Amino acid sequence: MSRSPGRKQENHKISRELFVLTYGALVAQLCKDYEKDEDVNTCLDRMGYSIGIRLIDDFLARSAVKKCRSYSETVDMIAQVAFKMYVGVTPTVSCNSAAGNEFSLILDKNPLVDFVDELPAERASLCYCNLLCGVIRGALEMVHLAAEVTFLQDRLKGDAVTEIGITFLRKPEDRKHRRN
């Protein structure tokens, strides 16, 4: 179909509620498909990783951020720009190590669990939002930062907050590239 020259292309955005409900249906289906919570967690992490390796291009194009010089700058960028842009919340950042390679993103409100009261007792080891860990890990890997990303606390499991831990796997001096 042809477009009339004066007509602007419309931006179609999915509503947050529809996304959250769809995500809930995805997790419910994975719980039906897999007996073990570990398998569901792995599947969600893999899905998130695939999203993260593709999402980083959109993030870099839309945010126009400058190169981060340290792990703390990187985590601040994830919290203040990326989470705000894609999830609609801004987590608090805390550094968990003297080496400066372990950080926590603390979410007072997690929009992915808006319609979830609690996990069923038989799914106690399920990381419902493990997709987020995969997204962060995939995006970081695409900018050449190897990291381990895990849930440290989860409100769905009775914790006071939701906390995502990020551990960078290389020392900062290992990241420097030699110039020829």
- What CA–CA distance (Å, rounded) separates 93 from 75? 7
pLDDT of residue 178: 46
Asked if residue 91 lies in contact with residue 166, where contact means CB atoms within 8 angstroms, the answer is no
Distance of CA 40 to CAs 33, 106, 139, Å?
Answer: 8, 23, 21
pLDDT value for 10: 45
| E strand spans, 16-75 | none
| Average pLDDT per consecutive 10 residues, the chain (180 residues; last block may be shorter) | 48 71 94 96 98 94 90 95 92 91 94 87 93 97 96 92 94 50
Domain ranges of the chain: 37-117+125-168
Domain 37-117+125-168 listed as CATH 3.30.1380.20: yes
